[in-house]
Structure 1
């Protein structure tokens, strides 16, 4: 028995070492989603509204604050967390997949001389690979979440199971992956910029200050800045993804104004630009940037804290 205990402990440590990154990523995604879901609901409503988001044009939503108040009045507090359950599953799945891929890439790419000598490039490429992998496995939950947020009050899907069953019955498996191309096209550079900016700030600051580890407030600030920069850069693709995800679902959202009918990513970008001008490609940017900054900051903060706790237990 005395021999087996060290072996068992060693096996446990090895298991935790392999899975601590994806576990921390999934759990940090869960915590972050709980705080930022209302902003996500507002962002999606703005992205799907074809009318300009301003007063005196007959639009349903005219600003971030007005949207928040209207949603609360019409749908209650639960309306602000509409799609929260599939959103949580999305966040956990995406966080798990993203950090699992990033951790593996970071480990193995260090064996390549170029990546080992250029950490900034390693973080950028690793972030892009991780984001693409995470979104690829999480897209079905993103589609369901978007439709829950988009549907009329007391219409559409009754539950996650009903949503999956209905989409598969009416649209086939392809329906669960609507918007996958713009999703991956957006999330890969988004994650690349996010991870690259985050690690660039932390590495330069700790080196300048002669510190081995970054303080908690710096992690939060770096994460927030990386999220804002990344989201601003890729926002038109994020808007396109949301509009593609509600195709064949327009009958369940008749109280939000006009619906866009489109056949693909480039067609959606073209129609949005032609009908709503350049500003239409950035519709909902304000709540998106606020949400992305908060989400990214909390995401990295929770991730680093969970990793620290796990390392202390090993």
Structure 2
């Protein structure tokens, strides 16, 4: 959202430090909001990933292990306990904080600099959309190693695989080299750039037009939450096949630690993965795990923007 930046009241002694703080408050708020959001939505993320990695259809009476969102939740709890629903939470938290910090740092800078360009200054919708896409790509690039580790923690069988996040990083580096940390980076960026573009563009479009309609200069908390939820749901639905592809690429070379829920797909890259998924599982295979994904994405986006706005507002009141 657009905001009028608070001033330092003309206190020149603190102007430099104050200016630096203004530059970091957006990414700081993004990182903190990412932390709270991840803590609330991790179980849905675990369910989504399990569905994405199961080649068999998410249906009953065909021998598949996971058949629905609720059934997966109950089964994971029965087999792995409450901790199983938060598998990969530590790397997931680092991912969310890193991604949130990087995304809002890039978004804030793009938003500031692009105002100097006449087109973007006159078309705020395009500024938010393009800025969101650029910010999402930047945030995902620096956060991908943690995404790979998080996905593998969720995918691995109970009692097998990595013992800790440090073990995961050491093992990947030793067995796969640095490139192992960036498996799925191309589909990640291909997915996150339009996802963030749609998310930021839709969110700001809804809030700006709501304020114009109501002739107000601010919006209430529930409107922020609803706008964020809708924008996240729409964005995830549009790019979902690429998210599924990313997850399947991230578990390549990890098949020995994942044997209890279905087959493993072997693929050489993004296009090959999409082709094989479509050939073996059909069009619906590209949308496996969509239900928990859109629920999680809608909640995550809603809480993400809600916490971000609350944190920024609290910071501004104290400046």
TM-score, length of structure 1 as denominator length: 0.98
Whole-Å Cα distance in 2 between the matches of residues 108 and 163 of structure 1? 39
Partner of 1:28: 33
Whole-Å Cα distance in 1 between the matches of residues 122 and 55 of structure 2? 48
Deviations 1:67-105 (A, max 9, x none): 000000000000000000000000000000000000000
Pair 1:73 & 2:78 matched: yes
How far off is 1:12 after superposition? 3.4
The secondary structure found in structure 2 opposite 1:187 is helix
How far off is 1:15 after superposition? 2.1
Partner of 1:38: 43
Q: Name the stretch that deviates more: 291-300 or 212-221.
A: 212-221
The secondary structure found in structure 1 opposite 2:287 is coil
Pair 1:164 & 2:169 matched: yes
How far off is 1:9 after superposition? 3.3
How far off is 1:7 after superposition? 4.3
Whole-Å Cα distance in 2 between the matches of residues 285 and 106 of structure 1? 32
Partner of 1:61: 66
The secondary structure found in structure 2 opposite 1:56 is coil
Deviations 1:228-261 (A, max 9, x none): 0000000000000000000000000011111100
Consecutive unaligned residues in structure 2, runs of 5 or more = 1-9
Whole-Å Cα distance in 2 between the matches of residues 292 and 305 of structure 1? 19
**Pick from 177, 197, 201: which aligns with 1:192?**
197
TM-score, length of structure 2 as denominator length: 0.96
Whole-Å Cα distance in 2 between the matches of residues 178 and 51 of structure 1? 23
Whole-Å Cα distance in 2 between the matches of residues 236 and 211 of structure 1? 39
Consecutive unaligned residues in structure 1, runs of 5 or more = none
How far off is 1:313 after superposition? 1.1
**Pick from 100, 116, 122: which aligns with 1:117?**
122
**Pick from 241, 257, 260: which aligns with 1:255?**
260
Pair 1:230 & 2:228 matched: no
Partner of 1:217: 222
Partner of 1:150: 155
How far off is 1:10 after superposition? 2.8
Pair 1:181 & 2:186 matched: yes
Deviations 1:153-205 (A, max 9, x none): 00000001100010010000000000000000000000000000000000000
RMSD: 1.0
The secondary structure found in structure 2 opposite 1:281 is helix
